[in-house]
Structure 1
């Protein structure tokens, strides 16, 4: 571990020195020493001024390579720190999918300013790719692929590959695609078929016809199912007319699923907006967190009001204070499990936002069983601790009922939010927490008030 830290520190120091001396050759050599993970960490450790100076030393090709080696939200921060005129050449050198992802991370004013600086055709393609919704094939496809007309001979194809080898080698070619006159996809041409075919044969004779295809609005979950079922390295994306518009690969699909899971986790933890790094300005980081915490203050005041309403009961039976957080936390955990299942089924389109009744019956049965088990356990512990059977009954009943409520609410809230076109990942957690706290406190303190003569 020490050697790794020392190696990184030496690279970072060398990069600082290269930037300070405006030595572009030294900066490039230093960046080439770093692997992909170290490049992201290096950029994270540089100040805004140093990042601007670094990109002032790089050519558009070199800058684009750095942008492709860092996380997309880091790349967006770098581009936003540059003027549109300076940033545009770097953006133009990115692959189509990386370019669209990066532009979508920028503020609208910044992205439009950069698009105005791009070549007209490139700007049009970028806008088209930016328009595809997150979580779809269109959002992760790229337009850099090799295609040939169906009537081209093998000799013509090989000559074309030789002529454009520098361009094609950047594409990571696994397949070539055979197209008709109207750009419609006719087949896939594996490299093996091309190598062993007669030079006089046409592409249509050696291609694999009618390949598996996807559409731009297919979800990444649907793509993952296809990749799991078949050993494909990539899939062609076609439009409604059957024309080839892009390619997706297995790696990009897996990364998109991981990014979606990470984004949901950040939302669930209350981090608003884009991803947060500690290298970001203090004001930005504080504002993103406070926007969520301020909402939680209101929700917690609602829960606290329930306790205030039963202050006399709590003063009479102080042991109840020990079980308030237990009931709240255990019920909340049960509810979060139901939230996770609903969100997963919604993402896989196994349920629709209208299936309230089905989800309610499924979750209520689980809640009743788990609530009874947990209530019996905690109620028994309360009885053994204080030697009061009524205390155990109150605590156990409150936990059992609140667990059932939490599981039902946890299962239904994501559906309700989805039906209202809201993000379930962002709001399910706080809604569930408020409900479980209020119901838990009300149940235990309400039951204790009814049974107060037997508790004191």
Structure 2
């Protein structure tokens, strides 16, 4: 406990020192505080500052440090940090980042802000960013970086090794790529391993030691890229355009990050968080995003509550039903969410399409019947023993069984239907499932109880 208190006191002192140094625009002291920290921790310290002081940090710290902090930030936050900078400062910082990160940030800026920054960048770098920004998100083109470790097929092993020795610092940006070999038109014709370069004779042409490359087209989708990296143990795969020309490299880490980001985004959408919300964002923006979900949810819950209202007499006569109503809706909802999760995964992997809705329903209802009957028997026995009323057990058990079957049917099929009509299944499946399972669960319990009233009271 003492050690924890000491760490917390140290963090508070560091935060106060950073604030004081920033207010004084003391670039040297700010750098001395942030430099020793891991980039994630340094970014956290900066985000704890008031907005004006946060802007000051990115204006006064060394360009490389500012670039590392922006590169560490989630994309929405990186965009916010960049758009608050002067265009010339933003351009200098972005040029220290990979072309893939540059394109991600620039593509999210307003047109005027983006052009102001691009006009300050090196002409070739700006052209690369414009080209990369034109590709769709979730494709090889949208994920690749334009920096490619490539050599002409006419060059020798010795030439490549001499380039290594004379410009080793420049190779850091290639992030572990193997050298790709291109023909006179820029098409990839081979790839060589670093081990092969070191063991070959210096006079040998690259064509003698290269092997045929595995390539990805710029339009290849994320799920296909994921499969490609699972099949091959490469750190990067060269990306070609419609003419077969080498235009970039997509890395294993970029694909893994995109897969994780997509899963997190879909999970947040199901919970009503739209976009990559961070608590460092403006309060009104965060509030507006959440209210878009919550205000809709009020209407959906009113619909569910209206079912209870229609059966007030039954509920008043058999108070024990109130204990089991939330259990029926919650357990059914859990079953439905499992079905939603499987369908969303298969959609992202390209394993199902909207046309497969009936086949998906057959698969889900098969599981739903088994699980519904099993869960119905279990909760029915609990209700019978707890309240010493077999009729109550029958009502609750039958309601849960039917609602579970309904829930998995909705959970499995609704995302496909939403996809078919052009709606976002990740954002809309959750509220629809919750409302329908709540409403149906209440209806099943209360209507069965009304029919069984003579045996319940």
CA distance in 1, matches of 2:168, 2:83: 34
TM-aligned CA deviation for residue 124 of structure 1: 3.0
CA distance in 2, matches of 1:65, 1:76: 14
CA contact (8 A) 1:145 1:173 kept: no
CA distance in 2, matches of 1:369, 1:321: 26
CA distance in 2, matches of 1:110, 1:270: 30
- Of 196, 206, 214, which residue of structure 2 is paired with 1:193? 196
The answer for unaligned runs of 5 or more in structure 1 is none
CA distance in 2, matches of 1:417, 1:61: 45
Structure 1 pair 166/382, CA: closer, same or farther in 2 (3 Å)? closer
Q: Which moved more, 1:226-235 or 1:349-358?
A: 226-235
CA distance in 2, matches of 1:87, 1:151: 40
Q: Which residue number corresponds to residue 169 of structure 2?
A: 166
Structure 1 pair 453/135, CA: closer, same or farther in 2 (3 Å)? same
Q: Which residue number corresponds to residue 420 of structure 2?
A: 419
Q: Which moved more, 1:181-190 or 1:106-115?
A: 106-115
Structure 1 pair 167/262, CA: closer, same or farther in 2 (3 Å)? same
3-state DSSP of counterpart to 1:354: helix
TM-aligned CA deviation for residue 107 of structure 1: 4.4
CA distance in 2, matches of 1:7, 1:101: 36
Q: Are positions 1:364 and 2:351 aligned together?
A: no
Q: Which residue number corresponds to residue 436 of structure 2?
A: 435
Please give the per-residue CA displacement for 1:33-71, whole angstroms capped at 9, x wherever unaligned: 111221221122122111211122134444222212333
Q: Which residue number corresponds to residue 246 of structure 1?
A: 248
Q: Which moved more, 1:162-171 or 1:135-144?
A: 162-171
3-state DSSP of counterpart to 2:257: helix
Structure 1 pair 424/4, CA: closer, same or farther in 2 (3 Å)? farther
Matched ranges for 1:339-378 at <5 A:
339-378=340-379
Q: How many residues align?
A: 454
CA distance in 1, matches of 2:382, 2:196: 72
CA contact (8 A) 1:339 1:411 kept: yes
Please give the per-residue CA displacement for 1:143-193, whole angstroms capped at 9, x wherever unaligned: 112211111223333344444433223333441111111100011122222
Q: Which residue number corresponds to residue 386 of structure 1?
A: 387
Structure 1 pair 22/432, CA: closer, same or farther in 2 (3 Å)? same
Structure 1 pair 112/452, CA: closer, same or farther in 2 (3 Å)? farther
Please give the per-residue CA displacement for 1:378-433, whole angstroms capped at 9, x wherever unaligned: 11222222322222211111111011000100000111111122221111100100
TM-aligned CA deviation for residue 81 of structure 1: 2.2
Q: Are positions 1:125 and 2:128 aligned together?
A: yes
- Of 48, 51, 63, which residue of structure 2 is paired with 1:45? 48
CA contact (8 A) 1:346 1:352 kept: yes
Please give the per-residue CA displacement for 1:182-217, whole angstroms capped at 9, x wherever unaligned: 100011122222223333222222222x11111222
Q: Which residue number corresponds to residue 229 of structure 1?
A: 231
CA contact (8 A) 2:31 2:62 kept: no
Q: Which moved more, 1:67-76 or 1:284-293?
A: 67-76
Q: CA RMSD in A?
A: 2.1
The answer for unaligned runs of 5 or more in structure 2 is none
CA contact (8 A) 1:8 1:38 kept: no
CA distance in 2, matches of 1:176, 1:239: 19
Q: Which residue number corresponds to residue 395 of structure 1?
A: 396
Please give the per-residue CA displacement for 1:242-293, whole angstroms capped at 9, x wherever unaligned: 2111112222222221111111111111012x32222222222211111110
TM-score, reference length from structure 2:
0.93
Q: Which residue number corresponds to residue 67 of structure 2?
A: 64
Q: Which residue number corresponds to residue 405 of structure 1?
A: 406
CA distance in 1, matches of 2:176, 2:329: 55
CA distance in 2, matches of 1:276, 1:111: 22
- Of 197, 218, 221, which residue of structure 2 is paired with 1:219? 221
Q: Which residue number corresponds to residue 264 of structure 2?
A: 262
CA distance in 2, matches of 1:386, 1:23: 72
Structure 1 pair 156/64, CA: closer, same or farther in 2 (3 Å)? same
Matched ranges for 1:23-102 at <5 A:
23-102=26-105
TM-aligned CA deviation for residue 135 of structure 1: 2.3
TM-score, reference length from structure 1:
0.93
Q: Which moved more, 1:380-389 or 1:439-448?
A: 380-389
CA distance in 2, matches of 1:108, 1:219: 26
CA distance in 1, matches of 2:369, 2:299: 30
